[in-house]
């Protein structure tokens, strides 16, 4: 892929991960809303976990370094 110059996809890794977690979070929020916000432990844990995952993906230096490292492949 590097030899052919097909590297545009690497810029979409972090936004796609964020979009995926947002979709998971929205499904859980829809589920909670559909059940009239009744408390369920599993749903609450998932909402907290997805919120933490979204924050971690957004602030991750390591993911940003990984994408930057893909710009300069090793020979």
* Six token digits for residue 9: 């996809």
pLDDT at 5: 67
CA atoms within 13 A on the CB side of 62: 2
pLDDT at 69: 82
Dihedral angle of Cα 10, 14, 17, 18, to the nearest 10 degrees: -150
At which residue do the structure tokens 């020979």 appear? Answer: 75
Measure the CA–CA gap between 37 and 2, rounded to whole angstroms. Answer: 49
pLDDT at 74: 65
pLDDT per position in the chain (75 positions), as tens? 656 666 677 888 999 999 999 999 999 999 999 988 888 899 999 999 999 999 999 999 999 988 888 777 665
pLDDT at 27: 96
* Six token digits for residue 72: 């300069």
pLDDT at 70: 76
């Amino acid at each position: 892929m590097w030899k052919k110059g097909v590297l545009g996809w690497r810029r979409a890794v972090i936004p796609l991960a964020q979009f995926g977690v947002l979709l998971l979070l929205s499904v859980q929020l829809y589920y909670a809303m559909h059940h009239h916000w009744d408390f369920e432990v599993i749903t609450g844990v998932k909402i907290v976990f997805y919120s933490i995952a979204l924050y971690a993906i957004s602030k991750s230096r390591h993911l940003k370094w990984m994408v930057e490292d893909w710009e300069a492949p090793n020979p």
